[in-house]
Structures are given as structure tokens and as C-alpha cells.
Amino acid sequence: MKMVDLKIDGREVKFPSGTTVLEAAEELGIDIPRLCHDPELTQYGGCRLCVVEIKGMRNLAASCVTAVSPGMEVLTGSAPVIEARKSILELLMANHPNDCLTCEKMGDCRLADYCYLYGVKKGSMEGESHNYVLEDQNPFIVRDLNKCILCGKCIRACSEITGKDVLDFSYRGFDTKVTAFGDSPLLESDCIFCGNCIAVCPTGALMEKQIKNKARQWDIKKVKTTCPFCGTGCNFDLCVKNGEVISVASNPTSVVNGRALCIKGRFGWDYIYHPKRIRTPLIKKNGEFVPASWDEALDLVSTRFKEISANNGADSFAALSSARCTNEENYLFQKFVRVVMGTNNIDHCART
């Protein structure tokens, strides 16, 4: 692999050719702000917040789309860089609602984080602003285009993660906005409501409907778990407040699915609290199912299994496992069948 020698903030460093300046800086522990860049999506270079100074270059360069080159001298925090980033944030805030107090994204908003970091307030640059109507006619996603900064991440996520291409930029200039075909509501588009656009949105432009007014981001405890809906085994975080699940969020460290989820995984968790959900074991007595304790149910199962095995031999027992269980559960199940029940009569619904 060809290595490139360069200087970043005065440090002499070497990186493989093709590495971007942003990636190189990240490796060195230098945090460059970014709004449109996402390592899982194609490079875009639209927001320009990641600009750096490169000696010999007339303009500041967007570090997320600039590759390292031999002899390059990069300054990531010089006065012109800081000034440019402040101006970009001021321009974004000139056309952004000042409603952080009631915004669901408060506490997890990249724009707010950077405004705080660079001391940018609303009002330092006045101008025309949008007044789009909130789109919430569907059961899952609330779109507030007044908060959209046109980073294009939702468009790329829809195309590159979900493979649907439902969203794109429409109109021109100040009127540019992200829309589905014909500027129609999501409900009338080809949107499959996977919510992968929500997972990448850096502001409150795309939010989950289910979580609305339920919790501030800092009240939420995230618990990583495995989706039970199919055999893919996607991982995600359950968002828990006061011991109650209030939503599901993508977990970028998930090796199976990254941040990608489907409609069931992201929005189908509310069965947990469905009033008809069976919450205790049921034992049939006199032809009727009656609630029982776990001890009572497990005692009954173990007694009956022992009887079957003793009366008819271990091979009279067979077990079928499910792709909806985790690998660990399936491993334990086959271990139970082989070691405790003493038979190899074990199969799995996904084997055929």
C-alpha cells in the first residue's frame, strides 16, 4: 500500500494513499466537525463544516472529500478555519427554528453541539426563513423540513442502506428541500418506513413519532439487544426510560446490520406492552388454560419430559428450534436436547 507523508497541525505523519484528511485527523485524535459526512455513506462534501487550511491552497478545503497527498501541510484549527466554520453555522442558524427547548432532538443534535462549541447563536445573521408545514400524517416519522440543513444524509441512507431511492433534493436555490417523488407525503410515496433516514439525520428534521414528548435524550438509557422478528438477528438499542421501553434506536456498532433496520425492528416494539400479551406461563387444567408461576410450569415440564423419556426412550423426544431465537438460545436449546434429553432429534426451522 502506497504511504503518503504529510503534516497535520505540525505533526509529521504517514497515511495510506486515498485516506481523506478527515479520516487522517480522526486517527490522530483531532475532532473535525462534520454534518454531512457519514463513514457508512458515499462522500458528499456539502455542508463544508469540516473545512481545513491546506498550505498553498487558495481556498479552505472540505476535509471529508480531500485525500491526503505527499508534502501536504494541514491546519485543522487555524483562525480562518474557525471563522469559516462559525460563518457556516451562522448561515444555517439564520434559517433554522429557534425551538431547541421543545425540539425532540435536544441533547442529540449535531447542529446544536457545534453551535455550542463555536459560540454561535441564532440572530447573528438575519434573513428569510422557511415555514414548511410539519408532515406527520403517517404513523412513524415526523418530518420538519424547517429543521433540515440539506446535508443529504437521509437521501443517501434511503438509497445506499435501504436501497429504495425514495428521497431526493427538489426545487432550486433557497427553495431546495428533500422530498419524495412529486413532493408527496411519505405515506403516498414508495417509503417503506424503515426509519433509516431518522438514524442518520443530524438535526430534528426527522424524528420518530412514537417517542414524541416521551423523554429527553439524557433521560434515556440505551440497552443493546437482538431483534426477535426474523432470523437475520439485527442488533439495536432499546431506549428505556424509568424501566419502560419507549423506542428503538440504531446502534452503529451492530456487526450484523450496522444502523440498518426494517419497519418491524424499528417501530414494532410496542407489542411488549400490548394488553393481550401473555405474561405468565399457562397450564391446561380441566381443559382450560390457567395462569401459573414459572416454578410450577417448569416443574410440570420437567416431570413430563422425564416420564416420556422413561416410558418410551430418549428418542421418543424431538425438538424444533426457531430462527427467531438468538444463536446463544439455539445453542443452549440443542445442548439441552442432546445432554439432558439424551437424543439428537433436534432440528431448526431455517435448515431447509
C-alpha distance from residue 89 to each of 3, 102, 120, 346 (Å): 35, 20, 7, 60
Closest CB 44 distance from ligand FES, rounded Å: 6
To ligand FES, the closest distance from the beta carbon of 20 in angstroms equals: 9
**DSSP assigned state of 273:** G
Burial, 267: exposed, middle or buried (Cβ in 10 Å; 0-12, 13-18, 19+)?
A: buried
Q: Which is nearer to ligand FES, 54 or 215 (CB)?
A: 54
In the bound state with ligand FES, the residue whose beta carbon lies nearer, of 51 and 211, is: 51
Indicate the angle between helix axes 110-118 and 79-94, nearest 10 degrees. Answer: 130
The answer to whether the CB of 84 falls within 8 A of the CB of 51 is yes
Residue ranges that bind ligand FES, judged by CB under 6 A: 34-37, 45-50, 62, 64
Q: Which CB sits closer to ligand FES, 46 or 265?
A: 46
CA distance 143 to 207: 7
Between 68 and 234, name the residue whose CB sits nearer to ligand FES.
68
Give the DSSP letter string of 188-238. Answer: GTT-----HHHHH-SSTTEEESTTTTT--GGGPEEEEEE--SSTT--EEEE
User: Minimum distance from CB of 64 to ligand FES (Å)?
Assistant: 3
Nearer to ligand FES, 6 or 50 (CB): 50
Amino acid at 8: I
Task: Work out how close the CB of 223 gets to ligand FES at its nearest, in angstroms, rounded to a whole number.
Answer: 30
For ligand FES, which is the closer residue by CB, 42 or 286?
42
SS3 311: helix
User: Long-range contacts of range 54-63, CB-CB < 8 Å, 24 or more positions apart?
Assistant: 54/21, 60/84, 61/21, 63/20, 63/21, 63/22, 63/25, 63/32
Question: Smallest gap, in angstroms, from Cβ of residue 89 to ligand FES?
Answer: 12
For 200, how many CA atoms within 13 A lie in the half-sphere containing its CB?
Answer: 29
* Nearest CB to ligand FES, comparing residues 15 and 236: 15
